[in-house]
Structure 1
Amino acid sequence: MAILKIKKYPDPILRKKCQEVKEVTEEIKNLGWDMVETMTENQGIGLSAPQVGELKRIIVVHPIKERSPKEKTLRSPQIFINPKITEKSKETEIDEEGCLSFPGLFLKIKRRKAVKIAALNERGEKIQVRAEGLPARIFQHEIDHLDGILFIDRLSFWQKFKLKP
């Protein structure tokens, strides 16, 4: 496994739409595990392939699972290939997000509170995941990256206005 270089904004690759993975090969598996290692090394909780210069529909997620307000545990990182949001809750919530492609920038972003994801795992098996709260936010953020959408694009008019110098 290897630590990959994270692309920083305004690198143009971050605005490109990614291609679906046709077959889960050793190369794809290795990319997924390199992304996990890169995310972990950079203390991230999510990472998408375009952030490491690959226009493939792959994300890795390492969410914090909240058991109670005071107790949090980390689940093991997971690889999702060709992830799609198949269901979204009507409920939304606003919370702070960061991004490894925008070091040091944290913004309040409105997202759906819960989502259902369909994807392939690193073995090429179909999987479905329901996520709520922070994990749902991570999935939405990372899947946006696969379509060239950045979290700064999700800011409201007034948030953008306040950010301008």
Structure 2
Amino acid sequence: MSVREIRVFGDPVLRERATPVDATSPTTAALVQDLLDTVRLPGRAGVAACQIGVAKAAFSYNVDGEIGYVLNPRIDEVRGEPELVDEGCLSVPELGFPTPRHPFCRVIGVDTAGEELVLEGEGLMAQMLQHEMAHLDGRLYLQALDKEMRSIAMAEVRKAAWY
């Protein structure tokens, strides 16, 4: 398959709520391979399907040397009070802002055989899970920022060369 181009802020597909996939279809297998190929590049912790132009409920991840994917995920549990963590997004290139994230997150979904997958973790894994799940809801991390930080972030977006 192939590494796909990342859609950036302003692309309408990033605002679409993802629809479920047929986990066992050949089309889904091809999407998963593209997601895995795309997330393998250095500096990428996760890639949601919408970021490669497909509004489907799927994402890949590359955290601490572990590469994988999940289909039709849902958040099962978050734990702890949200903490501010430095966060960026491939769809908002070159920028990063302190974003509130729970220190633990568990997501349940399926693989391409339709078997249940459970992804959970703390630190970067928890942050990535919450970030990618927001993408599947049609939201960028900028929307999780408090009002003052969001104003600063949007001013930076408008000044960015890619905007």
Same fold by TM-score, threshold 0.5 exceeded? yes
- Structure 1 equivalent of residue 20 of structure 2: 20
State whether residues 79 and 122 of structure 1, in contact with CA within 8 Å, keep that contact through their aligned partners in structure 2: no
SS at 1:35 equivalent: helix
SS at 2:30 equivalent: helix
Q: RMSD of aligned C-alpha atoms?
A: 1.5
Unaligned stretches of 5+ in structure 1? 65-73
User: 1:24-76: per-residue Cα shift (whole Å, max 9, x none)?
Assistant: 21221121111111122363110000001101100101112xxxxxxxxx12x
- Structure 1 equivalent of residue 118 of structure 2: 128
CA distance in 1, matches of 2:23, 2:69: 14
Decide which of 86, 97, 100 is 1:110's aligned counterpart.
100
Stretch deviating more after TM superposition (111-120 or 21-30): 21-30
Count, aligned residues: 155
TM-score, normalised by the number of residues in structure 2? 0.88
TM-score, normalised by the number of residues in structure 1? 0.87
Percent of residue pairs bearing the same amino acid type: 28
Deviation at residue 150 of structure 1 after TM alignment: 0.5
Structure 1 segments of 4+ aligned residues over 4 angstroms from their partners: none
Q: 1:130 and 1:164, CA in 2 relative to 1: closer, same or farther beyond 3 A? A: closer
Matched, 1:152 2:142: yes
1:43-58 matches, cutoff 5 A: 43-58=43-58
Unaligned stretches of 5+ in structure 2? 156-163
- Structure 2 equivalent of residue 31 of structure 1: 31
